[in-house]
């Protein structure tokens, strides 16, 4: 298991690095143009973040975000089969985008001002907040109980920075993926895990030895991300998101993956 104590600076250094690279690199074709040229849309999705992204019984990516990507591929090519999903993690999704391995990110990307320095964000399509996941019977009942406790976060996540603000006395430990973080919680190497509320609620439902604790904090929107300056792709994505809501596709996906657990704005 690879882990490190989080200083909350990982995302900052990534943003600074990418901003420098952007300033030095020549302009490249947009994600939409790239997709049209190859005849396939490459979309970064998560596979460890149910119900937004996970692997189905056959080992194929599935979930809310994956279905959004399918809608985009069908809109572009009239064939959702011309979608290629590329598994990404919280920490790898921006580097993948700038390595031209994907055309866009549809992977629970929380909108922050820091990320706006290197990304263009679509209109929001969901709203999520942070929530704690703890072992069943834990004395941790909320953010106020985290002083001196070890809290697992994911590298590059908003929780790395948010916890420094709302629970500065907590000891943050960053993991590369959710599997490692959940294992740390189950083996008592962490007292709590802080992640997006939808995932925490899903994990609590799937694992009887874990439970959600406290109230959701710092709600923010999810959006689709494209490369900085790729305004043509951004406009197209926004048009398709609007179409999804108008033709009922968005409501059907919301009902499929969340039932009555979220409101019309996608907020739990």
pLDDT in tens, 58-93: 999 999 999 999 999 999 999 999 999 999 999 999
Q: Mean of the pLDDT values across residues 49-60?
A: 96
Reference 79, options 87, 70, 89; nearest CA is 70
Neighbours of 267 (CB within 10 A): 15
As a whole number of angstroms, the distance between CA 98 and CA 95 comes to 5
pLDDT in tens, 145-185: 999 999 999 998 999 889 999 999 999 999 999 999 999 99
Model confidence at 205: pLDDT above 60: yes
pTM of the predicted structure, to 2 decimals: 0.85
Average pLDDT of the residues in 185-208: 95
**What is the band of 259 on the pLDDT scale with cuts at 50, 70, 90?**
confident
**How large is the average pLDDT for residues 180-191?**
96
Distance CA 218, CA 207 (A): 25
Instruction: Quote the tokens at residue 37.
Output: 């040229």
At residue 27, does pLDDT exceed 50? no
- Distance (Å, whole) CA 152 – CA 193: 5
- For all residues of the chain together, what is the average pLDDT? 89
- Going by pLDDT thresholds of 50, 70 and 90, the confidence category of residue 261 is low
Q: Which domains does the chain have, with CATH numbers?
A: 3-7+129-219 (3.40.190.10), 10-126+221-261 (3.40.190.10)
């Amino acid at each position: 298991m690879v882990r490190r104590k989080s200083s909350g600076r990982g995302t900052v250094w990534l943003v600074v690095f990418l901003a420098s690279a952007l300033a030095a690199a020549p302009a490249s074709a947009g994600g939409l143009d790239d997709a049209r040229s190859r005849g396939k849309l490459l979309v970064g999705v998560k596979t460890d973040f149910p119900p937004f992204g996970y692997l189905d019984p056959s080992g194929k990516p599935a979930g809310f975000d994956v279905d959004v990507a399918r809608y985009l591929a069908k809109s572009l090519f009239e064939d959702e089969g011309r979608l290629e999903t590329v598994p990404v993690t919280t920490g790898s999704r921006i580097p993948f985008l700038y390595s031209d391995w994907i055309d866009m990110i549809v992977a629970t990307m929380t909108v922050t001002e820091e990320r706006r320095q290197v990304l263009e964000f679509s209109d929001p399509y969901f709203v999520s907040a942070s929530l704690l996941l703890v072992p069943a019977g834990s004395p941790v009942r909320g953010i106020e109980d985290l002083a001196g406790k070890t809290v697992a976060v994911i590298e590059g996540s908003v929780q790395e920075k948010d916890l420094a603000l709302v629970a500065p006395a907590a000891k943050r430990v960053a993991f590369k993926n959710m599997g490692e973080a959940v294992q740390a919680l189950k083996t008592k190497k962490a007292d709590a895990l802080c992640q997006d509320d939808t995932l925490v609620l899903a994990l609590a439902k799937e694992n009887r030895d874990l439970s959600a604790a406290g109230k959701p904090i710092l709600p923010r929107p999810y959006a689709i991300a494209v490369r900085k300056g790729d305004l043509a792709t951004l406009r197209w994505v926004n048009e398709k998101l609007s179409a999804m809501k108008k033709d009922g596709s968005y409501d059907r996906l919301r009902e499929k993956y969340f039932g009555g657990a979220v409101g019309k704005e996608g907020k739990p």
